A and B are shown apart, each in its own frame.
Chain A
Amino acid sequence: MKTVRLLTLTSLFAASTALAHTMNVLPSHYVQSKTGGFVTVDLFASNMTFQADKGVGVEGFKVVLPDGSIAKPTAAVQGKRKSMADVELTVAGTYRLEMGGQPRYFTSYKVGGEQKRLMGDKQKAAKELPKDATDVVTTQGRNRALAFVTVNGPTDTVLKTTGQGLEFSFDRHPADIVAGEAVTATLTLNGKPVEGIKADLSFDGELYRNDPARQHLVTDKAGKFSFTPANAGRYLLEASAEAPLKSDKADKMREGFTLSFEAALP
């Protein structure tokens, strides 16, 4: 009995740490006042906000230029605790820095009451699942970590939503987020505002205080929630949502994003 309980705890712990690890795209600067410069971007997984725990593969990182075209960093290296990428800012406007975004498939199932999981979509699962598998659900998971950097005047091209997956829009440009001023976010799933999506807002320096002071936000009927950054500094917004999916690859989708941004001094 003791052994079983221990095993359950261990697997729970493994699952929760895997889920709890937050992906971060953290640029050295969010605002620049000249073209032709660079930002260096930290890419890492973390548990405490902006406390780098693990460097991530840099091949999943891309830069969306102010005109919407996609570029690669001029240099990137994966470190043990964090990875880094240099991004050249040749033109004015708003850039989107993005990591991840590739769908991954996994199929969960039960055999004799025991929960199991295999990496693969419905077609792969059909070949590999044991014959006595029950409760089979295949999930398409997609996570993106984002940040926006603005050189001179802000632009909107890289903020536009696509109608695909979980997306957000703010009632102000990310470069206009200021301490003490309310921001209203709208979260959409496949282009439609959805009620009840949960999001967490946290801020820099969790390692150095007892109370993480995270704000737990939930979208209303119009898919909106509001928050007011109390102080100037770096913030992280995390949200995720699930929805049924009609696809030959998966039964449902699980979408998540993290957005790092700064609230400027008033």
Chain B
Amino acid sequence: MSELALTPSQTVGPYLSLGLTWPTGYLVVPEDAPGAITITGVVRDGTGAVVPDGMVETWQADAEGRFDHADDPRGASGSGFHGFGRSSTDAEGRYRIVTVKPGALGDGQAPHIDVSVFARGLLDRVVSRIYFPDEVEANAADPLLSSLPPERAATLVAEQVGPAELRWDVRLRGEGETVFLAV
């Protein structure tokens, strides 16, 4: 067996946009793709102040619950769906991702999007998940959501704010602190 020792994490610092800005990074799918939805939200710190220098990344299955990735034991989908979104937060702390709702994976989990948040003051990314408000039954049976107290689980479920728009805020610390995950 192994083992090479791991490289430690460090903060992205305040100047991450120099290296990590992609003008179209927020487009997991084109804005006019069938089934496209927008997920937006505001990242806030322990005082409730917005975080204007952060970055949100998303990773998810396609609408059929598949990944175009060879490590998926069900096989790579071959669809070319890249599943990745990246949005800097703006002066109001807001990020925005355009994507499709992921399908169920068929393993008992409710449809979800994995999220990483990076910012100055975070020495490592923080990881969370976005779940969907129209999946009441699947959410109730989801192994992660059902393991959490209801008020904590609620921090992981997005809010429907328009026909094709969801809102999911991130509270890094303090009142209503988002559930973060060790992966």
Q: Verify that A and B bind, or say they do not.
A: no
